[in-house]
Amino acid sequence: MGNNSLGFRKFKDSLFKALVVIFALVTTLPLIFILFYILKQGFSAINWHFLVSLPKPVGESGGGIANALVGTFLIVIVASILAIPVGIGAGIYLSEYKDSRLADWARSGLEVLNGTPSIVLGIMAYLLVVAPVKHFSAFSGSVALAFMMLPVIIRTTEETLKLMPETLKEAALALGTPYYRVILKVILPSGASGIITGIMLSVARIAGETAPLLFTAFGNQFMNYNIFKPTDSLPLLIFNYATSPYDNSHQLAWGASLILVFVILILNIFSKLAVKKWKVQF
């Protein structure tokens, strides 16, 4: 019967399946290539000296990434301090007053915020924090990153609280507990694993971000512990060294990349395990 004979249809079926399998598995290739390459290039760069010394002047060999490590740590911590209370508070509000007008506005706003390119958020942090005082700072970088953390923390907090059965709240209230204590002492502890996972995910999201830091934290080749001064960070360092013409800088960048990827990987794995281990069953 020509084209639509059973044999031909079966052939198309097998061909299609083969194509699907091949194309799907091929998508893992970039991952393998990238991880492999980073491992190969970065491994040789990492040693104790690398981790604790400051970068050498441009063109000289040697040097390390100590300032970037400290800077990343500083910026991420401050961003978390800014984002976590607001994020959890807003998440509680959204789950407790879900039908209010404020909740609707906030939800729309969060969708916009979540989809905003990180460089635009960097511009906003620049305009709000850097421009008025005319100098770059780690703090302004943290502000930009905090903007990115908020949607993740708020969403996971709200989802976690939504899973709490209503009778939990009622049981606490029936004992004469004031409302705010019900939230703080019963609801939040029961949802702790979900909320902490959300925080870890938000940190994993921002730890590798470069664009928002380009004109906020800006970078600094010296060690800096002051959040109101420009500071270097791992992603910034990688960007600057990767695009420089010196081989030595490239080496440092590979080492830094390995560390960065490793940390983000660990955070993501931890989040998954944490959910399994600490989840409160009802």
Binding positions for other proteins, 167-226, rule CB under 8 A? 167-168, 170-186, 189-190, 192, 204, 207-211, 214-215, 218
Q: How far is CA 259 from CA 30, 46, 254, in A?
A: 19, 9, 9
> Is residue 124 involved in binding other proteins (CB under 8 A)?
yes
176: left (phi over 0), alpha (psi -120 to 50) or beta: left
Residue 249 in tokens: 């800088």
Residue 195 near residue 149 (C-beta atoms within 8 A): no
Least gap, CB of 281 to other proteins (angstroms): 7
Determine, following the binding rule CB under 8 A, whether residue 110 of this chain makes contact with other proteins.
yes
Hey, which residues between 20 and 59 contact other proteins (CB under 8 A)? 20-28, 30-31, 33-34, 37-38
| CB nearer to other proteins: pick between 118 and 197 | 118
Among 117, 135, 163, 225, binds other proteins (CB under 8 A): 117
Chain positions 129 to 158 lying near other proteins, rule: CB under 8 A, are: 147, 150, 154
Q: Which of residues 79-98 bind other proteins (CB under 8 A)?
A: 85-90, 92-94, 96
Q: Which stretch binds other proteins (CB under 8 A): 14-22, 43-51, 54-62, 68-76?
A: 14-22
- Residue 131 corresponds to which tokens in the numbers above? 């421009």
Which residue intervals of the chain are DSSP H helices?
A: 6-26, 28-43, 48-52, 66-96, 101-115, 118-125, 138-162, 166-174, 179-181, 188-190, 192-207, 234-242, 247-278
- 13 vs 60 by CB, closer to other proteins: 13
Interface with other proteins (CB under 8 A), residue total 106
Distance CA 52, CA 70 (A): 10
